[in-house]
């Protein structure tokens, strides 16, 4: 029987690239994060790794956000052209 170590953890988190933290967006003196300037990565929750399924969900939501942004840009372009 093979040992399935790779079932746990899986792949390096695509959000923080394994750093486990991401830059916060509170900004300087107003930062209310524990680590001032960094916060636990919201994708891997500070694990640095995610399952392949979680990675796929992340990329899927990135694609959707990108597509929504593109279509919003197109719509505003059309309004300007009118």
Interacting residues toward Zn ion by CB under 5 A = 13, 15-16, 24, 26, 31, 33, 41, 43-44
Q: CB nearer to Zn ion: give 26 or 72.
A: 26
Q: Report the nearest approach of Zn ion to the CB of residue 66 (Å).
A: 19
**How many CB atoms sit inside 10 A of residue 58's CB?**
17
Q: CB nearer to Zn ion: give 2 or 28.
A: 28
Q: Are 65 and 58 in contact (CB under 8 A)?
A: no
Q: Report the nearest approach of Zn ion to the CB of residue 65 (Å).
A: 17
In angstroms, the CA 45 to CA 51 distance is 12
Contacts of 54 (CB under 8 A, 6+ apart): 10, 43, 44
Q: CB nearer to Zn ion: give 26 or 68.
A: 26
Q: Report the nearest approach of Zn ion to the CB of residue 67 (Å).
A: 23
């Amino acid at each position: 029987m093979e040992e399935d170590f790779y079932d746990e953890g899986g792949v390096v988190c695509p959000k923080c690239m394994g750093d486990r933290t991401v830059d916060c967006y509170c900004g300087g003196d107003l930062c209310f994060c524990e680590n001032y300037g960094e916060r636990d990565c919201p994708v891997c929750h500070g694990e640095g790794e995610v399952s392949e399924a979680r990675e796929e969900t992340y990329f899927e939501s990135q694609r959707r956000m990108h597509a929504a942004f593109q279509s919003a840009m197109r719509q505003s372009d059309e309004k300007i052209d009118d």
